[in-house]
Structure 1
């Protein structure tokens, strides 16, 4: 599933309104979901971030416990850097003495777990119509689809900007933490709009050669 910009805004806005005694829950999940949308990180990577892994001055995230045991550095935009800093300030004000060094916290001062994050996302999705009401979780778009959206959006932007995608795609593979660049090429084959753009680019090259 590829989220639209409007759906991402709805998810973040709805998550920010999640009620809790200390008012940290909404802040945590709106920031967490937003981070996944703008970086394409895996949920496990995001919730594994410790405070020392988030450089709020340089705007760089250090992913230490990634899939396949790989580590990488993920630079973020200025707006994301500002959002993370605002969250950190709110978190430290609400939970001044947490039980963990985790960057993203639950209200009891412990690390956010994957199960709780996915359950919360399911509830948010149901409230805005992305999942059916009535069932505990419901079927529909997943948190991991944030990663797909980021990759697809990046590739589409590159095609439309006239960049050489074949030359740029290894950068995206590294940013996403893919073991093989073939994992990144999969998005071109799986998404009709990307396949169309790639076909048009190839057709243009062949015409130019003639």
Structure 2
């Protein structure tokens, strides 16, 4: 009798609970470990967890080399825990499948490109007005607030104040809640979406603000699929080294806000703490990661530093 999968399942859930008790959200890592469990069950391996098994699992993933490296890294740390209970567990080499540190720069859309993306978002599903308006509203929300896509998808109806225009963002990356006020135009878009959603589902099937075609909470996978389709329809996929991500809109928000402050001749350094708080960052350096030197932003900074006539 093969008891390895049963033992693995038990220890895997214990490990996930342990990591979460230490304050980690541990969502993606937990999903990876559960995929590994299904991999072990499907392959009917007798165990133990070995270097060869870990590499085979990592390489079975579709996607980039970094995706496979992340899989391996999650499994390597779990193996350290598992070895306490199953001494046959091999120590996994930390130098196998290293991650590339080269970071592809985000795609910062200009106003015309963003408008095209929102327009085409309405057309991702010709037979469903609700699906198109869901994506259009989400794209507009991410671009106008800089929310992480996961934060937007986790919004419940009670978290969205359609009167005052304030979002209650819960379970953020740093496990803190925050209030995010939205612009009047964003509030109007949220109200319009809520009307379409409630017309499609007069009796709500879940507490989520953004829902799928079935009325359940919209998933990250569904968002990414629809987003990439809208990008293709808007002609935004052919000019970039990699596909756009919803997260690129968070970068755009930071760049657009800094550019606006420079145009208004405001004290940007004094305002950075406010921006960091709005984004839900613990350190200002986290916000600096999102500052991409677009031509417009660099031009505005140079203009303020050297005056209209340039360097004298």
Q: What TM-score comes out, normalization by structure 2 length?
A: 0.60
Highest relative contact order (Cα 8 Å, sep 6+), 1 or 2?
1
Instruction: Say whether 1:122 aligns with 2:225.
Output: no
Measure the CA separation in 2 of the matches of 1:94 and 1:139.
35
62-71 or 19-28, which deviates more: 19-28
1:168 match = 271
1:7 match = 113
1:47-126 equivalences under 5 Å are 47-126=153-232
CA pair 201-160 structure 1, distance change in 2 beyond 3 A: same
Shift of 1:166: 0.7
- In 1, are the aligned partners of 2:134 and 2:193 still within 8 Å (CA)? yes
2:288 match = 185
- In 2, are the aligned partners of 1:22 and 1:94 still within 8 Å (CA)? no
Measure the CA separation in 2 of the matches of 1:17 and 1:197.
36
Structure index of larger Rg: 2
Shift of 1:99: 2.1
Shift of 1:127: 1.6
Structure 2 unaligned blocks of 5 or more: 1-106, 308-312
Shift of 1:120: 0.9
- In 1, are the aligned partners of 2:262 and 2:268 still within 8 Å (CA)? yes
1:46 match = 152
Moved over 3 A (4+): 192-204
Shift of 1:18: 2.7
Shift of 1:131: 1.4
What is the aligned-residue RMSD (CA, Å)? 1.9
Shift of 1:159: 1.2
